[in-house]
Structure 1
């Protein structure tokens, strides 16, 4: 039996529609019929072939072990259709979302449940073929979380947009209850952060973005305020809106101007968590870090437990599922270009 997939065969060139045999699950593998596959900015980086390190430097994806051709998308929801002989008791026909951040299972990070930090990752859609296809192989059933009646298209983004914001916001600890969290970036992750904060009982979000449409979407989603990142007094607006400076800033963009804005708008003792990978560099006056004192931390996606908790929160009605726009898989290239040019509000999912 044949299936279609949309693959990165050459960086920066249109995704190529490829027909190949449906993979057969071996050992503990599980075969999913894809119901929905999300489109993420990480897919853009894979398509482009590099990360911007600032100062004219680039990190090639080939240097990270990513090889082409590759079927992208790590936000995958689907139906279990077949399992390998060692997969155990697998419910054929169940609708699930896949945790894509798969590790080696043996290193220290994997042993403490942080496979997303494994030094030999096997992530779906990055190191292994992902969801822009009719079918996808998942290496073990433990990476599958039952949807319990939820819409696959609405839930698929939890595997990245959800996990990423949930994991990052948890790093602030009690600060999310002490005052508003400043969220830089009102795209799919920004809107998701607003919902996660509500589910966690946080004080609320002040959202910062350059796009008026996205700021409006954030306000409609429940943001306490929305600030234009390009305003000359953006840092002052954040300081005023937070009552003297931000105690917690979540940077979902991760570019030179956004990190600079985050640091400029922090109160003493402020905590900045950087998630975005847009790239660039900054120059820091080192004495300022201990004198203020500031905490700057990176956060990379999330854990299997994070995904299980998010699905449970959504299933129990404590959190709204992400805002999504569904498009046919055949429109993968158009969807990629729309994301590249900043024309997507919320999250795009492709449906085979």
Structure 2
């Protein structure tokens, strides 16, 4: 039997349970001993019941979708990793056979499972995944230090890499929010793009960190920030806006910071976007959704991490202290990402 932190009811507190250890039953199954599990704002949304209808998950179940550790057991057809290997887990367990997987777009796999969302996740001693989901870590990387890169980092990388493909030297990229995801997005953009990076946040400490890790300019969200961004961009707005907030008025401000034919990348969520269709047509702006990144995105992100280009700022908690970690996240007391360590 192993420990597992489970959702037993929506709007109730998480409960520590004893559940059977997972074992490989399929030929490509991989059981991972958890070395670190990231605590994400989505976990708070799960407890609020926001994902109940979408995930259709049966309660009780174990949450935790940002996971890294060591291979503990494998099915008899697994050849890409061996017992003892340090690994980070792509958050989805994918089939490899559908059209999306064949394109390398495994985020949209037609037969996927999502540990921590619609099946048992990593707030536990062990987790069941498959061979398609494990990325072997460089020996310089510790599972607990990179665990949150599996979702928060991967989501930030996916959006930043998508934006970077359309950006050129001399262009402007504005990032709204420099917290758990945003501080990773800043490092990624600095590593892969020559665009001028402007970071907007209401927290002066977050802006100080952003400047330290690669932002060219920072703007305090104090009510005049849209005008300040327009001033920085010569009155034209930015070619790309990456919004890691997506609520509290950020979407209207993000669109207002955009230049003609610019791209607005939505990552954070919580409010509706309201833009007159004539404004979209007349300026040819694009509003682009961003989910988590693909397996290949995770491989690329791990390459940046191994080279020291992306570092995760973490606060660690013992697995038994899960409630403290959840409360700290909920009340804004976590710098970077909270990590549970069994």
* TM-score with structure 1 setting the length: 0.90
Q: Where do residues 125-204 of structure 1 align in structure 2 (5 Å cutoff)? A: 125-138=116-129, 140-149=130-139, 150-172=141-163, 173-175=165-167, 177-204=169-196
**Distance (whole Å) between structure 1 residues aligned to residue 255 and residue 335 of structure 2:** 26
Shift of the 185–19 alpha-carbon distance from structure 1 to 2, 3 Å rule, reads: same
**Distance (whole Å) between structure 2 residues aligned to residue 164 and residue 46 of structure 1:** 18
Q: Does 1:20 align with 2:19?
A: yes
Shift, 1:97, TM fit: 0.4
Q: Which runs of 5+ in 2 are unaligned?
A: none
- Deviations along 1:210-230, one digit per CA (max 9) or x if unpaired, are 22332222223232232232x
Whether the aligned pair in 2 keeps the contact of 1:176 and 1:248 (CA below 8 Å) is no
**Distance (whole Å) between structure 1 residues aligned to residue 333 and residue 327 of structure 2:** 9
Q: Where do residues 1-352 of structure 1 align in structure 2 (5 Å cutoff)? A: 2-27=1-26, 28-50=28-50, 60-88=51-79, 90-138=81-129, 140-149=130-139, 150-172=141-163, 173-175=165-167, 177-229=169-221, 231-244=222-235, 245-255=237-247, 257-277=249-269, 279-317=270-308, 319-352=309-342
- Deviations along 1:243-270, one digit per CA (max 9) or x if unpaired, are 3211110011112511100011111122
Shift, 1:164, TM fit: 0.9
Shift of the 133–122 alpha-carbon distance from structure 1 to 2, 3 Å rule, reads: same
- Deviations along 1:99-133, one digit per CA (max 9) or x if unpaired, are 11233444332221212123543012111211110
- Deviations along 1:2-56, one digit per CA (max 9) or x if unpaired, are 2101111112222100011211111221111100011112212112111xxxxxx
Q: CA RMSD in A?
A: 1.8
Shift of the 246–201 alpha-carbon distance from structure 1 to 2, 3 Å rule, reads: closer
Whether the aligned pair in 2 keeps the contact of 1:181 and 1:250 (CA below 8 Å) is yes
**Distance (whole Å) between structure 2 residues aligned to residue 177 and residue 69 of structure 1:** 51
The number of aligned residues is 338
Q: Which runs of 5+ in 1 are unaligned?
A: 51-59
